[in-house]
């Protein structure tokens, strides 16, 4: 495009151009692909196609570590050429029907676990335990599952549960595949080095919050020398019930 075309009102806008087939490569790569398709000499066409592949690879250097990166570039070249490019490619020409096919939808898991705080994971692990042969591995697996179920039960219900109840739930959730061994007892376990936090400890307590805010305001008022309502009692620091660290009677809260 020259200045005469611009002055004559012949400027070309993007809305007047063809739609980009793969917009990530831009208009210049699309024009290069069209030029390769219009080349009649097969040797020259192969040489130009290889040059276009090199330029496409330079535009995406972060994808060089991706497996089959070259194969992906050649597929993109055929797509931008509308599968009309006749060249000697190191990879087979992709099938337009296969590329245009929609992926198979993944069905949602609509099953509801029998015990919500155990979830489907516990049921799947119990099923896996029931598929093992009798032996030490199966026994250790059942012991670990009982410990895990007792930990989950304690974390979400905030109450102690008997080993008999855990054993009955193991039989129920596994549909009779897993039966605890005689004399087996369950204990609370640690997950990832820490106990599962009790959900009750995260609940807001408005009474404690109001008390803490009131104490904070009182401490700021007494520590401010310009406050006329400051408590200037000289025996304030000697109060045996005071929380002043300088007091000899000060005790840390347990």
Domain boundaries, the chain: 14-100, 105-226
Q: What is the pLDDT of residue 212?
A: 53
Place of tokens 């959900």: 199
Q: What is the pLDDT of residue 226?
A: 58
Cα gap 50→67, rounded to integer Å: 19
Q: How far is CA 30 from CA 24, 104, 116, 120, 254, in A?
A: 10, 31, 55, 50, 73
CB atoms within 10 A of CB 153: 21
Rg of the chain over all Cα atoms, to the nearest angstrom: 37
- Helix, strand or coil for residue 249? coil
Q: What is the pLDDT of residue 45?
A: 93
Q: For residue 189, give the nearest of 144, 125, 136 by alpha carbon.
A: 144
Take residue 131 and report the two structure tokens written for it: 């598929």
**pLDDT tens digits for the chain (254 residues)?**
554 554 555 677 777 888 888 988 999 999 999 999 999 999 999 999 999 999 998 888 877 777 788 898 999 999 999 998 889 989 998 988 888 888 888 888 777 888 888 888 888 889 889 888 888 898 899 898 888 888 888 888 877 888 888 888 888 888 888 888 877 888 876 655 444 444 444 444 555 555 555 554 555 555 555 555 555 554 444 444 444 444 444 233 33
Counting DSSP H helices and E strands in the chain, the numbers are 9, 0
Enumerate the β-bridge partners of residue 233. none
Q: How far is CA 11 from CA 2, 4, 6, 17, 227, in A?
A: 9, 10, 5, 11, 75
User: Which positions ≥6 away from 176 have C-beta within 8 Å?
Assistant: none
- Residue by residue, what is the 3-state secondary structure of 32-84? HHHHHHHCCCHHHHHHHHHHHHHHHHHHCHHHCCCCCHHHHHHHHHHHHCCCC
């Amino acid at each position: 495009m020259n200045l005469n075309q611009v002055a004559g009102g012949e400027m070309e806008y993007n809305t007047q151009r063809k739609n980009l087939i793969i917009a990530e490569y831009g208009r210049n790569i699309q024009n290069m692909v069209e030029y390769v398709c219009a080349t009649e000499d097969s040797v020259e066409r192969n040489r130009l196609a290889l040059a276009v592949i090199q330029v496409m690879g330079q535009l995406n250097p972060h994808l060089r570590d991706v497996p089959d990166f070259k194969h992906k570039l050649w597929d993109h070249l055929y797509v931008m050429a509308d599968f009309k490019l006749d060249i000697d490619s190191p990879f087979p020409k992709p099938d337009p029907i296969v590329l245009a096919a929609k992926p198979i939808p993944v069905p949602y898991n609509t099953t509801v676990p029998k015990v919500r705080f155990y979830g489907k994971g516990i049921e799947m692990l119990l099923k896996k335990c029931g598929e093992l042969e009798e032996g030490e591995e199966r026994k250790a697996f059942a012991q670990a599952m009982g410990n895990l179920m007792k930990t989950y039960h304690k974390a979400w219900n905030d109450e102690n549960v008997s080993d008999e109840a855990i054993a009955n739930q193991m039989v129920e959730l596994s549909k009779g595949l897993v039966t605890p061994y005689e004399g087996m007892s369950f204990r609370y376990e640690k997950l990832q080095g820490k106990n599962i936090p009790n959900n009750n400890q995260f609940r807001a307590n408005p009474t404690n919050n109001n008390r803490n805010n009131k104490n904070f305001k009182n401490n700021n008022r007494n520590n401010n020398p310009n406050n006329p309502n400051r408590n200037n009692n000289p025996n304030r620091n000697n109060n045996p019930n005071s929380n002043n660290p300088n007091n000899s009677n000060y005790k840390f809260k347990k």
